[in-house]
Amino acid sequence: MTVRISDYIHGMALSKLARWADLTPWELVSNAPERVRELLKQLPDDDYLVLDDIAVHRTAQVEEGAILKAPLIIGAGCFIAAGAYLRGGCWLDEHCIIGPGAELKSSFVFGGSKLAHFNFVGDSVLGAGVNLEAGSIVANYRNERTDKTVNVRVDDVLVPTGCDKFGALLGDESRLGANAVVAPGGLLRPGTVIRRLALYDCEVI
């Protein structure tokens, strides 16, 4: 039961992450800092300002008060608002927005995706054009039970990932409404819409 990132994110094969296209999303994020450091080595010096393993494209805008922690790559045309918090090894493709009060941890975000404000996304892969309305969350840890292993649902069967930290794979153009929650292990097909205040949990569907 294979979960292919390219089935959810159509630009995967042509992206900077193409070398890891055969990994499951939880395998990709499990070593996010190391993978971002690999990508840092290949960035064109003329296009990025790089300091202490934090690379910001010269066309990106980072407001004063944003917290950036290495390793980190912020792509062309991105906007990072005051109060945003990026940590744990993150990669942002072009024209992404991380709004005020939004936290992104150990995640890979494809072009044009937006965390509007007051979001948390942990250990996840977000496709192109994904939009998270205010307060929506992609949780990455099963706090409610003794066994912390995150499961995913494949062909209506729960499959253990072997990881205790994995958020979700959000396919291209997915939408999370305000204050919606995706529980750990979510696999959202392209174009999926989670309504405002809704919970998506693969273990209780």
Q: CA 146, CA 120: separation in Å to the nearest integer?
A: 23
E strand or H helix at 27: helix 25-30
pLDDT per residue rounded down to tens, the chain (205 residues): 689 999 999 999 999 999 999 999 999 999 999 999 999 999 998 999 999 999 999 999 999 999 999 999 999 999 999 999 999 999 999 999 999 999 999 999 999 999 999 999 999 999 999 999 999 999 999 999 999 999 999 999 999 999 999 999 999 999 999 999 999 999 999 999 999 999 999 998 6
Please confirm, yes or no, whether 117 is among the known catalytic residues.
Answer: yes
* Closest of 90, 104, 157, 105 to residue 132, by C-alpha: 104
CB atoms within 10 A of CB 35: 21
Which residues, other chains included, contact 24 with Cβ-Cβ below 8 Å and sequence gap of 6+?
A: 2, 3, 5, 161
Determine the topology of domain 5-200 in CATH.
UDP N-Acetylglucosamine Acyltransferase; domain 1 (2.160.10)
CA dihedral 3, 5, 9, 13 (to 10 degrees): -140
Token code pair at residue 15: 């992206």
Tell me the domain boundaries of the chain.
Answer: 5-200
* 0.85 surpassed by pTM: yes
Tell me which of 10, 57, 95, 117 is the catalytic residue: 117
